[in-house]
Structure 1
Amino acid sequence: MSRIVGILTGVLMALFPTKFLTTMQNLAVENPDDFVDRRWVVPYVRAEGLVVAVVCLRGGSAYRAFMAFIGAVGAVLLLFPRQYVEFGNRLAYEGSAPFEWRKRYLPGLRVCGAFFLLLAARALRTDDRDE
């Protein structure tokens, strides 16, 4: 099931990177119009989507390595959500105003981090039955 979600998410990111970014920005901050994507962000999201889709489609050792990475990201999100997104946003966006995080965004990232950890643990604990 997680591979199917990964494939679908990757395909959406690859086909609609600008829409994907806009949706994520609107979920995260109150002031998304105060920031401009750096030139490399949209092509990066498209490439990331392709990689995610292909890795999830292939399965095997690449998928297990990807899930280990997802688990590490989940741990960081769970423990340090503000630092994680502020670092990423400084890399990806230009703007002088501080990010005005939506009230439930950072707690939501902690939940997402816990979910990623559980997903990774499940995928790494069991054999890849979907191969």
Structure 2
Amino acid sequence: MLRKLLLAFGLVEIVKPRPVIDACERVGLANPSDAQLRPWALWGARLEGVVFVWLLARGRQGSTVVGVLLGLAGIVLALVPRPIITLSQHLVYENTDDLELKPWIEPAARLLGVLYLTVVALSRRADAPEDADRANRSTR
């Protein structure tokens, strides 16, 4: 069930990244209306959605490199979110100095890291129906 929910989220992020970005801005910024996105910010959100869909839909057949990179990003976000917050702000916004972060931005970034790790873990599990059928046939 969680796999399907995250897969749906990835698809929404690919097709309509702006509402996802707007929601993240409302969570993390005290002044989201002042945020000026860089032109490639929407493509970055779409890329995140593609990674989620790729890993969750392909499961164990997905790219190991993509899974490792998302897992590393998840670990760093979960353990030391501040440098990633700063880096992502400079990549996503043109007016980083004008933005006011809400006090819970670090816990929210840690949760994003846990989300990344969850996607990686779900992509490694053999709970897709075709994987279960394959496993059952091989144990006979």
TM-score bracket for the superposition, by shorter chain length: 0.7 to 0.9
CA separation of 1:100 and 1:117: change in aligned 2, threshold 3 A: same
Residue 44 of structure 1 corresponds to: 44
Residue 109 of structure 1 corresponds to: 109
State the distance in 2 between where 1:31 and 1:103 align.
13
Which of 47-56 and 72-81 deviates more? Answer: 47-56
CA separation of 1:63 and 1:93: change in aligned 2, threshold 3 A: same
1:19-78 CA distance string (max 9 Å, x none) = 111111111111222221111111332343234223311222316554433321221112
Instruction: Please tell me the root mean square deviation across aligned C-alpha atoms, in Å.
Output: 2.7
State the distance in 1 between where 2:54 and 2:79 align.
29
Matched to 2:127, the amino acid is R
- Please say if 1:13 is aligned against 2:13: yes
Which structure has the larger Rg? 2
Which of 8-17 and 54-63 deviates more? Answer: 54-63
Q: Map residues 12-91 of structure 1 onto 2, 5 A cutoff.
A: 12-62=12-62, 65-91=65-91
Matched to 1:40, the amino acid is W
Matched to 1:128, the amino acid is A
Q: Aligned-pair distance for 1:14? A: 1.4
Which of 20-29 and 59-68 deviates more? Answer: 59-68
Which of 53-62 and 111-120 deviates more? Answer: 111-120
Q: How many residues align?
A: 129
Which of 88-97 and 48-57 deviates more? Answer: 48-57
Matched to 1:81, the amino acid is P
- Check conservation: 2:79, 2:110, Cα contact below 8 A: yes
The answer for unaligned runs of 5 or more in structure 2 is 132-140
State the distance in 2 between where 1:48 and 1:96 align.
21
